[in-house]
Every structure is written in structure tokens, then in C-alpha cells.
Structure 1
Amino acid sequence: MDAPTPLSRVLAQRRRDGDAVVLPVLPDWLQGRTAFGGLIAVYGVVAMRDIAPSAWPLRALQTNFVAPVNAGEVRVTVELLRTGRHVRQVQARVWQGEQVAAVLLGVFGAGRPTQLPALDPRRPDVARQPDELPARPYVPGLAPAFTQHLDFRWAEGGWPMSGTDTWSSRIHLRLHEARDVDAELLSVLLADAPPTPAISRFNAPVAASSVSWSLELQPHALPDATSAASGWWRVDKDTHAGAEGYVSESTHLWSPDGRLAALGYQVVAVFG
């Protein structure tokens, strides 16, 4: 089996094509029959940064996953919708062949003077820390291919298909070989990496797929490059409602130094 390709090397293979960016989708970055959604979101942000560059940080990212993305290449087209004094909105569409596979809207915003006091949440404690927990081994054919790039440590909640009765999870995680990935892209990737807690309620393999995903980043809380690459992040997921094969859940992404790095909201289809 070929060695997995780190995210930094995948991104280095991108090429500009007019108002679009072409990127590879490698087999080791798949999630079942489609590409890992966090990778597609990262591709959208990278293309926005390449085509409509701005020094402003990413504040929000809305992503609709429209169609499966197979191994091969994708083309990300970018349109600058508007730039105001403090906010810029950019749309990206991910294409594979003639099919739109994802539509993303990025909101980039400059800091502005405010009289509001700072609200900077800190990570709640969990009983066990990463070094006290076993690593979840990657088993080809049983775990999604992209998970070989990550180290997951379950602090609370059940592993996928473990038959637990929980609707929540608390997971320590980090990306292998993350040295050349900036904190903004890393936070987008990690926020989508853990599975929905809903599939921990099953005793046999089931598939799940994100339908829509909204992520709100806290740029002031993102760590420096060294901490982002080597430290343990934590993703807390909570399922709030579900029926007819769909669940609605929220995500809190905590940086290695315990600050709230991003808030996410997601609709997930569960095929089981």
C-alpha cells in the first residue's frame, strides 16, 4: 500500500487555471465513496485565498455538499461577491467534470474597534487526557481512508458502531505531519474530522454523510504554528435533534491551549 500523502504535499500540487484552482483528490483522502468533507472545505478556502487574496482572517464558512467527489482532480472556481470596509464575501464552487460537487461561501473580516467586552470561552475539562487514552488504530477497509492522517483519542462518547446510547462525543485529535499547514486551514480540517455521534449508537457498520455545514472561526483564538501542528486539539460534538435519517448537531473545536477556535453546525444524513 502506498504511503499516505500529507496535506501540505497535496496542497503543493495545486495549479492555477484562470479564475479557478485545480487540486488532486488522492485515494488516501477518501471517506467511503467520496472525498473527506473537511478536505473539500480546505480546498475551497485555499482557492478563495489564491484567487481573491485578502489579509483578513476567515470568520465564517458555509459549505453545502452537493455530490460525491471521486479520486482524481477537482476544479474550484471562485467569485468575489463583495468587499466592504470590513467584510469580504467570496463564493467557491467545487467541480468534478461537469458536476458541481460543493458550494462554499467564505466570509473574511477585518478586526474593528468595539466597546464590547471580550468573550473568550475556555475548554471544559474531561476526565482523561490524550496521553491516558489509547490511539484508535487505522484498519484499511474498516475505517475511512482519510483517518490514517489523524490521531484520534476518545475521551467521552462511544467509538463508531460501538452500540452506545450517547448522542455526544469529546475527542482529542491532531493531524500527522501538520508542520506546513497554517492554523486557519488546520482548524477547518479538524472541525469536520470526527464522525457524528449518531453512528456510535449502531452495532454494525453504517454510512453517514454531511449535507450542509456552517463553521464560525475565532481567529483571535487560533494558536501559533508550532502549537497548531504539534498540540492536541479537541472536538466536542453534540447531537440536538434527529428524525427520518437526518441529525442536527453542533461542534466546538478547542485549540491546544484550550481556547474556542471554531463553532460548527451540521446536518448529517445517516444511512442506517
Structure 2
Amino acid sequence: MAIDQLLKQVQTQSTVQIPAGWGQGRATFGGLLSSLMLSRLTAVLGDLMHDRVLRSATISFIGAVAPGEVELSTEIFRSGKSVTQASAKLMQNGEVLALLLANFGSARVSAIDIPATSTAPEYQAPDEAIKFAYIPGVMPEFIQQVDLRWAQGAMPFSGTAQPDFGGWMRWNDDFSSMSITHLLGLIDAWPPSVLPMLKGPGNASTLSWNIEFLSHSFNKSSKDWWQYQVTTDYAHSGYAHAVAHIWDDEKNLVAISRQVTTVFA
């Protein structure tokens, strides 16, 4: 089952079956789990969403989610004149395995207006970039769900002296309207920023993820491309700290993503 259908399911029900094909090692792809939690939360918020949009979210991956049934629950902590703070949690077999804390805000009049200081990189076109092809038994299963094109930096496990990379991304699913919920999961499809430094396969997983959205009205479909560029700020003692910027295909900065990754190598 593809991403768009899964996100639509949780808009009307609190349980969903995680299908095969979304694996990430022994766990389910965290980007899918994040999108499911956000989709459920926005559906529950309902009318509260008419004048406010997702400004930021923090996601914690607590335990491995297996294929099969998961339950989603939500809680609204406070909803004021312009800001709503709420959470969604994902449970399996009675355990909380993922948690999303979200902040929604409406636009307000302000004398402060600063344009984005991070500019989109000049990548080669997606058709000219290196396609991150799925290799069974080597790459995570969920890679079959996304189209990643490497345009900058070294590939994972290439033993380079430098981390960091960038490229183009989109879902392989076919749907007409790209929402922030779709984009949230897509952003997490890239591997941890330090994996190019490893000389061979090694495990790494996201511990916590904070993401901020600067743009909300995309007018994009699943066929449109998004640019991604990640930079490692620090890595030591088995933890890596990285920040990524995401632009649309018109070079508009749409999101800033920060992750803490555990590295088992």
C-alpha cells in the first residue's frame, strides 16, 4: 500500500495496518510513522486547522514498529487565539513506540520580515543525477516507495573523509496534491548524514527529529521534485547531529530539519 492511501486511512480511523514493504532494518520506516501521526492529528483537530498551519514538530522514535496493526491517539494541550499545541502517539501491542509534538500557528501581522538566508544549491537536473536504486538485502525496503537522486557528496558506506550530501526527492506514489503531511515523511527518506564516512555497511537510526516548516501552500503533485541538502554539525560518542534544508523545485526554502542520529559503527 502506498503513502497517499495510508494517510487517507488514518484521517477517518485511529488504527491502521502497517503493510510489508516499508521496512527500515528491523523497524518500520520512521518517515511513514511520522506522516501517519501528523495525518491523524490534523484530522482530529478539524476546524481548528482552518486558520493555522504546522509551524514545527518534534518526533521521537522510541521503539521498533513491526508490520501489522498500530493505534494512533492524540491530545490537544492548548489552543489559543493563534497557536495550537498538540501531540500524537503511535502504539503497538500496548507500547508507545513513536511520539509527535506539533505546533500549529496562524499568520499574524509583524514588522519583522527577513527573507531566507539559505539558498538552494545548483544541482544537476534530477534526470542527470544518480538514482538511488533499491538493492534487495542491502538497502531498506522502504526505498522502493521513494525516488531519490544523488546530486552532491558521496554515497553511504563509501569511506569518504567527509560526511554530508544532497539531491532530489519525490514519492513513487501517484497523487494530485502534495501536502505537508506527505512532505514530512519524504524528508526522512535520506540516510543519516555521516554514513558516507563508513567503509562498509553499518547501522544508524534517528533518535529525535525536529522540523520547521516555512512554507505551506505548495500547489505541487507527487510528480514534482524537492531539493535536499544536509550538513553535519557534530558527531561523537556514537551520536551525530545534523541539519538539513529543503527547497521546492522553484528554489523556495520550505523546511529546516534537524536530527540526532545514533550510529552503531
TM-score, structure 2 normalization: 0.93
How many residue pairs are counted as aligned between the two chains?
Answer: 262
> Runs (4+) of structure 1 moved beyond 3 Å?
12-17, 120-123
* C-alpha distance in 2 between matches for 1:251 and 1:140: 27
Partner of 1:202: 198
How far is 1:99 from its partner?
0.8
CA 1:201–1:7 in 2, change beyond 3 Å: closer, same or farther? same
How far is 1:180 from its partner?
4.5
What is the aligned counterpart of 1:224 among 219, 224, 229? 219
Partner of 1:28: 21
Partner of 1:267: 260
On the 8 A contact 1:38/1:190 being kept in 2, the answer is yes
On the 8 A contact 1:233/1:256 being kept in 2, the answer is yes
SS of the aligned residue for 2:70 comes to strand
What is the aligned counterpart of 1:240 among 225, 233, 244? 233
Partner of 1:92: 88
The residue type equivalent to 2:22 in the other structure is W
Gaps in structure 1 of 5+ consecutive residues: none
Which deviates more from structure 2 when the two are superposed, residues 22-31 or residues 207-216? 22-31
On the 8 A contact 2:55/2:105 being kept in 1, the answer is yes
Partner of 2:175: 179
On the 8 A contact 2:54/2:104 being kept in 1, the answer is yes
* C-alpha distance in 1 between matches for 2:207 and 2:201: 20
SS of the aligned residue for 1:230 comes to coil
How far is 1:264 from its partner?
1.0
How far is 1:202 from its partner?
1.2
On the 8 A contact 2:150/2:168 being kept in 1, the answer is yes
CA 1:257–1:122 in 2, change beyond 3 Å: closer, same or farther? farther
1:176-208 alpha-carbon deviations (Å, 9 max, x no partner): 124145321122112211011211111211111
Partner of 2:43: 50
* C-alpha distance in 1 between matches for 2:215 and 2:15: 27
What is the aligned counterpart of 1:134 among 110, 130, 139? 130
* C-alpha distance in 2 between matches for 1:250 and 1:52: 29
What is the aligned counterpart of 2:245 among 242, 252, 255? 252
The residue type equivalent to 1:29 in the other structure is W
* C-alpha distance in 2 between matches for 1:242 and 1:10: 35
SS of the aligned residue for 1:27 comes to coil
Gaps in structure 2 of 5+ consecutive residues: none
RMSD, aligned α-carbons? 1.7
Percent of aligned pairs with the same amino acid = 28
How far is 1:47 from its partner?
1.2
SS of the aligned residue for 1:138 comes to coil
The residue type equivalent to 1:93 in the other structure is K
Q: How does 1:44-193 map to 2 (within 5 A)?
A: 44-53=37-46, 54-55=49-50, 56-121=52-117, 123-180=119-176, 182-193=178-189
* C-alpha distance in 1 between matches for 2:144 and 2:238: 28
On the 8 A contact 1:187/1:262 being kept in 2, the answer is no
How far is 1:27 from its partner?
1.8
How far is 1:9 from its partner?
2.0
1:232-256 alpha-carbon deviations (Å, 9 max, x no partner): 1111111111111110000111112
